[in-house]
Each structure stands twice: as C-alpha cells, then as structure tokens.
Chains A and B, each alone.
Chain A
Amino acid sequence: MDLYEYQGKQYFARYGIPTSPGGVADTVDEAVVQADRAGYPVVVKAQVKVGGRGKAGGIKLAADADEVRTHAAAILGLDIRGHVVHRLWVEHASDIAHEYYASFTLDRAAKLHLCMVSAKGGVDIEEVAATDPGAIARLHVDPVDGLSPEAAAALVAEAGLHPEARAQAAELLGALYRCYVEGDCDLAEINPLILTTDGRVHALDAKVTLDDNAAFRHPEWEQFAGSETSDERELLAKEKGLNYIGLSGSVGIIANGAGLAMSTLDVVNQVGGSAANFLDIGGGANADVMAAALEVINTDEAVRSIFVNIFGGITRCDEVANGIVEALGRVDLRSPIVLRLDGTNAEKGHEILAGHVSDRLVVDETMLGAARRAVALAGGDR
C-alpha cells in the first residue's frame, strides 16, 4: 500500500523523524486555516500518489493567505497524470541550504536491506543513479545486525553531506531504519531531505510503501485504508476481496495463482485475443470466491467470453467446479465460460460439471485450446 505524502509524514512522526509543521486541507478555506497555523510563507502541495507533482503545477509557494487561496483553488481538482487532486498538504516553507536523498528498501538480489544516501537530492534519484551513480552512497544492512550509529555516520560522510548536517542526518537514518523495519515498509524514502539555513535536518517529502502482508500486526494502518482506484470493476472486486486488475479487452480471465493468471493473459494475447482483466483467485478458492469472481467479470460490458483457467494445488478442482455450478445458479452470466480444469481433484471436478456442460459452459482439456475457444467466442477481436 502506497501512502500519500501527508500519511507518510504522519507515519514518520511516529518514529521521530522530523518534518515541517503543517496540516491537511480538502477545501480552499481549510488550506488558509492550515497556513495560518503553520506560519507563512507556506508550501501548498497536491496529495496524489504519482511523481512529477512540481512540474505539473501541484506544488506552490504562498507568502500570504491570498496566495494560499489562489494556489489551493488552482491545485484542488487538478489532474496530475490521471490523478485528480482532492486533498492538499499545507506546511511552513523551509529555507533550504542543501537538498539530500535518503531511503531504505530491500535489495532482493542481495537479500539484505539497502540504505541509499545522496547529496544530490530533490531530483529524480533514478536519473542520478543512471547519470552519476557515484553520487549515491549505498550500504547493505543485515537485518540480523541492524543499522549501527557508526555505520550511519560513515554513510552520510561518504555521501558528502555538509558537515553541519551529518550528525543529525545519521540520527535521522537510524529513525528511518526503525520506521522501515518496525513499521513494515517496503520502501521508506525521503527526497528531499534538507539542511535548512538555520542548521536543521528534516524530511521535506515522504514516500512510504507499506507491506500489505504485515497488516495483521498494524491496526493503526486502518486509517490509511481507502481505495486508490476509480475503476468500478476494481472497486467491486476489492469489496469482494479479489485480486483484480481491469484491462480493456473482451476475454474475461479467472485463474488461480498470479503466474498462471499472467500466463493466461499472455496466451490469450498470443492466439489473437485480448484480456478484459487480470483476476487471480489465489489458493484455496472455494465456491463463494468463484461466484464472486464471475459476478465481478459479469459487470464488465466489454466481456464476450470468460476463460476460467484452473490448475489445482492448494485449490481443489471439485471446489472450483462446485463454485462454478453455484455461480451459474446465482449469477445471470451474459457471456459463455470456457473452462480448463487440471490438478488436485480434477476428476471429481469434471464429474461435478458433467451435467452442466452446454454452449454456455464449454470445457477444454488444454490451456492453449481453451484460450483459442475463448477468443473465438469473444469474436477474435483485439
């Protein structure tokens, strides 16, 4: 789960990472209230989960309440690369002496945490990595050992941070590491991390991605919940607890396992069709899950056929078959189903389905064969 900047800053605050005083505003009037409270000059920042806000006009400096009104009115409702701004973060503007970069993430190749610090902050760090890789100091952190204060100090020195910033930055790295580990982040990134003209180091931005798998030990994450999509199919799927991504084709896809679901998309594409969605019903799919999956796909008017591709492991084919039979009774499907069922309890599954096979429920033995039939039923259009 990606957090908005203001949520990321609230999360940082839990771990003692300093940020600028500020607050959230959903209207122009609220923006003025927050600006008065934070103290002028202020920065008015669009809250969207997409990069390049500044270039798109989503970040503006305001010297007084009138300017806050002007900027807040302009930014609210602004479309930034497909993300409409509904919320602002208004904070006291800092006098910046230097802009840095700091982050923690998992280096999957090394199987260790990776801390990156650069004196070249405030810009696209991937560009820095490409054009000037030496400008980024990197440190692998073994999760068994954690990050020592000495290692943090050495890293900020290596990165070439201003001597005045180093002690505070090293301490901040320690707090950011705690936030990343104890806070179960996939990514905790500050860009820019700044040194102010009066010698303080703090986070001017916050990019935090939480690990959804750790939600069970973070009841406080409830406050961050909320949908990031406006796709009605995705909203319905989320409500039903399904892992669904809407696409634009005409063959509805239901598969178990992310790999098989992706492969099903690929195969449909290769035989001349196009997928209407990605839908992984996961392991242990039962009748309810299958019925819910068919219901979601049934709301997609572009769908002309539904390819159900199941290879049972944990998922038992008899349960899948029961789910399809039950769903056929529950949901008035607009499109025919092409089913391919293999693996655990496949024979039982086929027995259950035997009395239900028709031109609305076609069974094919192979993945490629089923894909061809589903695409043919969808009209073969791309």
Chain B
Amino acid sequence: MSIFVDENTKVVVQGLTGSQGRFHGLRNRDYGTQVVAGVTPGKGGSDVDGVPVYDTVAEAVAATGADASFVVVPPKAAPSAILDAAAAGIAFIVCITEGIPAQDEALFFNTLQRDFPATRLLGPNCPGVISPGKCNIGITSGDIALPGGPVGIVSRSGTLTYQALHELSQQKVGQTTCVGIGGDPVPGTSFIDCLAAFEADPDTRAVMMIGEIGGSAEEEAAAFIKDSMSKPVVCYIAGVTAPPGRKMGHAGAIISGSHGTAQAKMAALEEAGASVALNPTEAGERMVEIVKHLS
C-alpha cells in the first residue's frame, strides 16, 4: 500500500501549458501516473502531448474523474488555483510553487480547513509525492525511487528528499511512499500527518524523516513519535553547522537563539526514541540495518 496516492489516482495538472507544468506533468505521466487533464484558464479545448486541457478544474473533473491536482503555477496564481481545485472536489492537491507570500498561505490553509476539510494540500514549495511504481506527482525524478517498500519517507527539504530516496534505493531498500512536505511557513501537510499515515499503512514498516533547522515542526513530530509511533523512525536534521540568525535559503530555515536549532531538534527526536543520523548517508545506512532486522 501507499499513503495519499496510489495507482488509481487520477491527476489534473494546473498549469500544464507552462514550461514547468509541461516538463514535470508529462514526466509524471511517463512514469506511469494517470495524468488525465490539464487546466489553464483560456486554453480549454487544446491539449499538451495528448493530455486534454480545460478552462477550469471543475470541467476537468467532470470530464475525466480527476481526484488529485498538481499545481504548477506562479506564486500570484497559486492561491486561487488551490481553492479552485478544492471547490471542484479534488481530494489531494500538490503545490510545488515556490515564493508564495506567507499571508496567502495562512489564508488558503485556513480556508481549506474550514470550507474543504476533506481536501489535503501538500506543499506549497514542496517536491511532491511519489509512491514508487504507482504514482508520481511533483518534481521528483522517478528513477531514483525503488518500488516495494518497506520504508516511508517524509521530508521538509526538496533536494534532501531526493537524497534520502537515493540513499535507500542505492542500498536496494524500497519505499512505500515518499512525501516532501516543503519548507514554507504554513505547510498544508505536516510531519505528523505523514507519520500518522505511515503508522496506519500496513506495508510501511519503518519511516525515514528528514528535517531542517527553524520552526518547531520536528519537535512536534518528536512528541508524536514518542506517543503514537510503533514503527522505527530514522531521522536526519540538516543545518547542524548553519550560523545562527541567518536565513538559509527559504522561509523555513531560520534560527534565532537556541530555538529551532538542529541540536535541539536532534535531542528531542532522540529522546522520543528515533534513531538520529548525522548525515543523509548515515541515515540510509541506519535504515538498511533496521530493514534487515524486520521480521
């Protein structure tokens, strides 16, 4: 099994006619994902390499039965694209857009919570989700993932998500699902959402969690691991050597004072019973050991 998506997931790509949308949307299709439609207002009736394009998500859903959306539009257009998808009944939205204002993120997150509680948003500013061999929505290179499980991956950082997949696949350890939740201030899906889903997924036997400095999401995840996880968790936190008080790349990664440091997060996770590695390679090695000993 997998979490959030599977081989039956039907995807509409919002922004399929743009260069990024076309590249990643078609790449997802080539991977085997059911990419059934594209949406670009004003371009309904056209197609992108055989994928029909509609003016609205509602039209795309009516025509194709799409139940997931891949949002690949600029920051200005992303909030309305996300809400349009939710209003059209899409249950799972992946938004990779980077650079959305935090005020917009807070507003559409809370609007979704209130008006569309059944809709899950992944992202924004995330690499997406891949269930190897079944479905790939986002910008992850499918060939670095290995089908068959037993490991679930959840990561806050884009490129480190790929690194985590790569470390495991190189060691012939497969993945059930790999979820990149993104590093923005208001992620639609949290570590805890993913940990809970992996805990409930019978095929996922162990979880790799990749965090980074800033915020308190890893500390919250640690509390969840301690109280609610029976499956082994291997963690890696990026930013041990980051200088304090500096913004490292995106909104997610800021440390001020001792709050949100890698050390504090690592201590919390260790205390929660997780295995905490010092680099992605070591995290991979620890997971290989854990998988070996799964009965």
Contact = CB atoms under 8 A, between A and B. Distances in A.
A269 B240 CA distance: 9
Contact of A259 (B110, B140, B210, B251): B210
Given A144-B111, A184-B103, A265-B241, A259 B281 contact: no
Interface size range on A against B: 35 or more
B160 A257 contact: yes
Contact of A278 (B159, B183, B248, B279): B248
Given A214-B103, A313-B127, A367-B280, A259 B183 contact: yes
Interface string B157-168: 111101100100
B100 A262 contact: no
Interface string A332-346: 000000000011101
B107 interface: yes
A263 B280 contact: yes
B159 A259 contact: yes
Given A111-B186, A257-B158, A283-B98, A266 B239 contact: yes
B252 interface: yes
B243 interface: yes
A259 B141 contact: no
A56 B96 CA distance: 45
B102 A186 contact: yes
A184 B105 CA distance: 11
A343 B144 contact: yes
A108 B186 contact: yes
A108 B210 CA distance: 18
B10 interface: no
B107 A143 contact: yes
Contacts, number: 172
B101 A184 contact: yes
A243 interface: yes
B99 interface: yes
B238 interface: yes
B238 A106 contact: no
B215 interface: yes
B274 to A, nearest CB: 18
A258 B252 contact: yes
A257 B248 contact: no
A263 B238 contact: yes
Contacts of A256: 159
A290 interface: no
Q: Is the interface of B mostly helix, strand, loop or mixed?
A: loop
Interface in A231-248: 243, 245, 247
Contacts of B250: 258
Given A256-B159, A258-B249, A112 B241 contact: no
B200 interface: no
Contacts of A346: 141
Nearest to A281: B249
Contacts of A186: 102
Nearest to B19: A284
Q: Pick from A256, A261, A282 the residue with the most CB of B within 10 Å.
A: A261
Contact of A213 (B101, B213, B216): B101
Contacts of B228: none
Interface string B76-110: 10000000000000000000101111110011011
A245 B106 contact: no
A313 B139 contact: yes
A362 interface: no
A167 interface: no
B242 interface: yes
Interface string A34-56: 00000000000000000000000
A258 B212 contact: yes
A143 B163 contact: no
A283 B157 CA distance: 12
B222 interface: no
B159 A255 contact: yes
Interface string A153-192: 0000000000000000000000000000100101000000
Interface string A100-126: 000000101101110000000000001
A252 interface: no
Contact of A245 (B144, B236, B246): B246
Contact of B114 (A109, A144, A260, A270): A144
Given A262-B242, A267-B279, A311 B159 contact: yes
A313 B158 contact: yes
Contacts of B248: 245, 258, 261-262, 278, 280
Nearest to A145: B110
A278 B239 CA distance: 11
Interface string B9-25: 00000000000100010
A186 B100 CA distance: 13
Closest 5 CB pairs of A and B: A259-B157, A258-B249, A257-B159, A260-B159, A214-B101
19 contacts: A109-B216, A142-B110, A144-B114, A213-B102, A214-B101, A214-B102, A214-B103, A258-B157, A259-B158, A259-B212, A259-B238, A262-B248, A263-B238, A266-B238, A266-B278, A311-B159, A311-B166, A313-B140, A343-B162
Interface of B: 20, 24, 75-76, 96, 98-103, 106-107, 109-111, 114, 127, 139-141, 144, 155-160, 162-163, 166, 183, 185-186, 210, 212-213, 215-217, 220, 236, 238-243, 246, 248-253, 257, 278-281
Interface of A: 106, 108-109, 111-113, 126, 142-144, 181, 184, 186, 211, 213-214, 216-217, 243, 245, 247, 255-263, 265-267, 269-270, 275, 278, 280, 282-284, 311-314, 342-344, 346, 366-368
